Amino acid sequence: MRIHTDFTNYNAINPVVTVGAFDGVHLGHLEILKRLKQIADETSGEAVVVSFWPHPRHILNAHLSLKLLNTPSEKNVLLKNAGIDHLVIIPFDSSFSDLSSSQFIKSYLVERLKVKNILMGYNHHFGKDRQGNIDLIRQYSVEFGFKVNQIPPHIIENEKISSTKIRHAIAEGEIEFANKLLGYHYLITGNVVEGKKLGREIGFPTANIRIDEEYKLIPKDGVYAVKVTVNNVIYKGMLNIGYRPTVNADIISKTLEVHILEFYEDIYNQQITIEFVAKIRDEIKFPGLSALKAQLELDKRVTGDILSLD
């Protein structure tokens, strides 16, 4: 997949284009991308995804502090795995947001992207004040000679898939439901940093994880069964998100720390990836370290059972 941040070297053949933020690259998105590839194959063309950075809502609704499912690098990998030929990333700023839907069609789809086919989701709107829609696209398709295709919403067990719905599920700790809609395990990537090493005292050493991307959505506080990738090797683990109330009564900052099962290496300052498989329980304050250790032993058995079935 070729990634373009401008149009200098853009040269897609018979471009079949779709446009969107594609946060999460979930199963609904994958239906669009699958159809995009199918049309490209049928027309001897190339599949082109047009996306934006920053996310449009970070500019248009900055006060809401929207959390995202993917970092740009995560999204790039997911789109590449979907077989996309070209990813065009348009810088989204206040000036671009003022572009009318008609200007976007003419200046970007026709002049820059040289679209031959366009594929749109069932309810896609674009341009200033989201005034553009498939009806407007169809009007211009006659003038400029490109074809228009539309795909309906993707539904799993009567649940319409959307990035918003997945974000809500993750924020509420409903990881298994979110994973079902995503089509893969929700993941985060971060660097292992120095901690207080309190876990070692009770036989559960942990790797403390720093997430540099402030916009990345972190699941609800609690204990999770996870898969941990270290140096391209996948291990089982249990991860705690929260304030560690049993050992840090006065702490005010949230931590992410993972105990990697059967793992004894020093990985400080290394990057690791966490895949969330299931939530085990909420974070609890225990009366002392012995009670905490007993609960962690139980969590470890539950984690092993969950991950052995995944």
* Cβ count within 10 A of residue 1: 15
Q: What is the mean pLDDT of residues 263-283?
A: 93
CATH of the domain at 7: 3.40.50.620
Instruction: Evaluate whether 230 touches 268 at the Cβ level (below 8 Å).
Output: no
Residues 193 and 64 grouped into a single domain: no
* Cβ count within 10 A of residue 167: 18
The position carrying tokens 């059967």 is 262
- Phi, psi for residue 295 in degrees, rounded to 5: -65, -40
Domain of 143? 2-152
Of 146, 166, 170, 147, whose CA–CA distance to 156 is shortest?
A: 166
Instruction: Evaluate whether 166 touches 182 at the Cβ level (below 8 Å).
Output: yes
Residues 148 and 189 grouped into a single domain: no
CATH of the domain at 278: 2.40.30.30
Q: What is the mean pLDDT of residues 49-61?
A: 92
pLDDT of 214-268, one tens digit each?
A: 999 999 999 999 999 999 999 999 999 987 655 565 555 788 999 999 898 889 8
d(CA 277, CA 173): 11
How far is Cα of residue 158 from the mean position of the Cα atoms in its chain?
22
Q: Residue 9 domain-assigned? A: yes
Q: Residue 255 domain-assigned? A: yes
Q: What is the CA radius of gyration of the chain?
A: 22
Alpha-helix runs per DSSP H in 152-288: 163-171, 175-182
Position 22 scores a pLDDT of: 95
- Exposed (0-12), middle (13-18) or buried (19+): which is 305, by Cβ within 10 Å? exposed
* Cβ count within 10 A of residue 122: 13
Position 250 scores a pLDDT of: 55
Q: Residue 109 domain-assigned? A: yes
Q: Residue 179 domain-assigned? A: no
Least confident of 64-78, 191-205, 264-278: 191-205
Residues 98 and 213 grouped into a single domain: no
Residue 83 has pLDDT above 60, yes or no: yes
Total tally of structural domains belonging to the chain? 2
pLDDT of 190-224, one tens digit each?
A: 999 977 666 666 668 889 999 999 999 999 999 99
Residues 98 and 204 grouped into a single domain: no
Percentage of the residues of the chain whose pLDDT score is greater than 70: 92
Residues 136 and 194 grouped into a single domain: no
Q: Residue 162 domain-assigned? A: no
Q: What is the mean pLDDT of residues 154-165?
A: 80
